[in-house]
Chain A
Amino acid sequence: MIGKQVRIVLILVIVCLVIGGSVSYFAAYTQPMIERNAREALKKAVNEVLPGVDSFEEIVPGDSFRVYKGKDAGGNTIGYAIYRVGVGFQDKIALIFGVDPDMTKIFALNILDQKETPGLGAKITDDKAFLGFWKEKSLTSPISYAKPPRPADALSDSQINAISGATISSDAVVKIVNAAVEEARGRIGGES
């Protein structure tokens, strides 16, 4: 009977070794491509929120808060791209936005990841309904939102429109951005 038990162990070990080996080979083969995809996604995101950026470097690393310093082709700092993960209505919202070097205004905002209600909260990714209002907003006072929505020219310098029917999601984004600006000012205030 010993022989039978040894055989069981041996066959399981062989199967695990062969499968484990093939998986690690395949993982090593795809690793560079997966990393390249992540890099390209980041580059695209930074390009969209920092107009005219030529190169950027990570100056504050982290999991839920990161800051990238963007430079133009001449090497001048044109601003920072701030990445922040915060609490949304259903799950975390990850976003990135670009600010000028003095952090007095937002160039643009982009939502990278969200699981808000499709058709309602998920409109935070919609340019016309939401993201468009964020362009060139002033950061001299914290961002606030108008509810009910107003015409774009009736909004104040640091005001955006909430999405009707999705105030919680709109409010979540506003809070994440305001918190991120606070944090960024504290972390890199002395550096520029």
Chain B
Amino acid sequence: MSKQNTLSQEFLKGLWKENPNLVQLLGMCPMLAVTNEVVNAIGMAGAVTFVLLASALIISLIRSWIPAQVRIPTFIVIIAGFVTMADRYLAAFYPDLSKALGPFVPLIVVNCVILGRMEAFASKNKPGRSVIDALGMSVGFGIVLLIMGAVRELLGNGTILGAQILSPNWYDPMMVFILPAGAFLTLGLLIGVSNLVQKKLAGR
């Protein structure tokens, strides 16, 4: 690497240039599955943020000890530990949210965004830089989840966070958007729009 990114570049790349969902296309399953309502999207984004930050910190702290041959098992054990804690925390303090997210909180263990950042970044960088990178990725992940959740809840149910936005008197909810098919439609359109913007920016 000839020139190292500044810390703010390290943070901002997760939002746009290397956005985990729109550009890297990682972590698709939780994102497609739980974005039918904004509140679920917030819960998932929060859990992923916690796991990503905590794992990035711990793994970058012990990165020089971890033998290269067993780095993936070590990462997975650490990630799984934090995921279990996040799952128990939600079940203890937010039982309704925990029930709505169902198996998708435990499944954060295999969310490729997290393992991907550990392998590509936290295992090679200092703790501070790794946390900034993790924060950027989490915010990028969270924003996309929120947009997906808002679009799907609004079009599919006429509400946002449970509050009626589109009156049922004149708006007939497009049910498909809260069903799995709507997740694919929304994600496809979102990626299309972001590619379009990217092209426009590059062409200038």
Contact A7 to B67, CB < 8 A, known contacts A15-B77, A15-B78: yes
- Are A30 and B67 closer than 8 Å at their CB atoms? no
Cα A148 to Cα B166 with chains together (Å): 29
| Cβ of A119 under 8 Å from chain B | yes
Complex: how many Å from CA A57 to CA B95? 23
> Which chain A residues border B67 with CB–CB below 8 Å?
4, 7-8, 11
Q: Is A16 located at the chain interface by the 8 A CB criterion?
A: yes
Q: B70 touching A23 by the CB < 8 A rule?
A: no
* Interfacial chain A residues near B66, Cβ < 8 Å: 11
Which B residues, 148 to 169, have Cβ-Cβ distances below 8 Å to chain A?
156-157
CB distance B93 to A33 under 8 Å?
yes
For residue A73, CB closer than 8 A to chain B, the reply is: no
CB–CB B81/A23 < 8 A: yes
What number of B residues sit within 8 Å (CB to CB) of A?
Answer: 27
Query: In the complex the two chains form, is A8's CB within 8 Å of B81's CB?
Result: no
Distance between Cα atoms of A30 and B175 in the complex (Å): 37
B65 at interface, CB cutoff 8 A? yes
Taken together as a complex, chains A and B put the C-alpha atoms of A11 and B74 apart, in Å, by 9
Q: Please name the residue on chain A nearest to B88 by beta carbon.
A: A30
Q: Chain A residues with Cβ under 8 A from B191's Cβ?
A: none
A15 to B66, CA, bound (A): 10
Digitize A12-23: 1 where CB-to-B-CB distance is under 8 Å, 0 elsewhere.
Answer: 100110011011
A6, chain B: closest CB distance, angstroms: 11
Taking CB atoms, residues of chain B closer than 8 Å to A22 are: 81, 85
B57 located at the interface, meaning its Cβ lies under 8 Å from any Cβ of chain A in the complex: no
Nearest CB in chain A: distance from B59 CB, A? 10
Query: Does chain B have a CB within 8 A of A41?
Result: yes
Chain B residue nearest to A16 in the complex (CB): B77
Q: B84 in the interface, Cβ–Cβ < 8 Å?
A: yes
Is the C-beta of B120 less than 8 angstroms from some C-beta in chain A?
A: no
User: Across the interface, which residues of B come within 8 angstroms of A20, CB to CB?
Assistant: 81
Which listed residue (A15, A33, A34, A37) contacts B74, Cβ 8 A?
Answer: A15
Interface residues of B (CB under 8 A from A): 36, 62, 65-67, 69-70, 73-74, 77-78, 80-81, 84-85, 88-89, 91-93, 95, 156-157, 173, 175, 178-179
Question: Please, could you name 30 A-B residue pairs with CB atoms under 8 Å apart, sorted by A?
Answer: A7-B67, A8-B67, A8-B69, A11-B65, A11-B66, A12-B70, A12-B73, A15-B62, A15-B78, A19-B80, A20-B81, A22-B85, A23-B81, A23-B84, A27-B84, A30-B89, A30-B91, A30-B92, A33-B92, A34-B92, A37-B92, A37-B95, A41-B95, A117-B179, A118-B175, A118-B178, A118-B179, A119-B173, A119-B175, A119-B178
Which A residues are within 8 Å of any B CB, using their own CB? 4, 7-8, 11-12, 15-16, 19-20, 22-23, 26-27, 30, 33-34, 37, 41, 117-120
Instruction: Kindly list 18 other residue pairs between chains A and B, CB separation below 8 angstroms, not including A119-B157, A119-B178.
Output: A8-B70, A15-B62, A15-B78, A16-B77, A19-B78, A20-B81, A23-B84, A26-B84, A30-B88, A34-B92, A37-B91, A37-B92, A37-B95, A117-B179, A118-B36, A118-B175, A118-B179, A119-B175
Q: Lowest 8 CB-CB distances: which A-B pairs, in order?
A: A19-B81, A33-B92, A30-B92, A37-B95, A30-B88, A119-B175, A8-B67, A26-B85
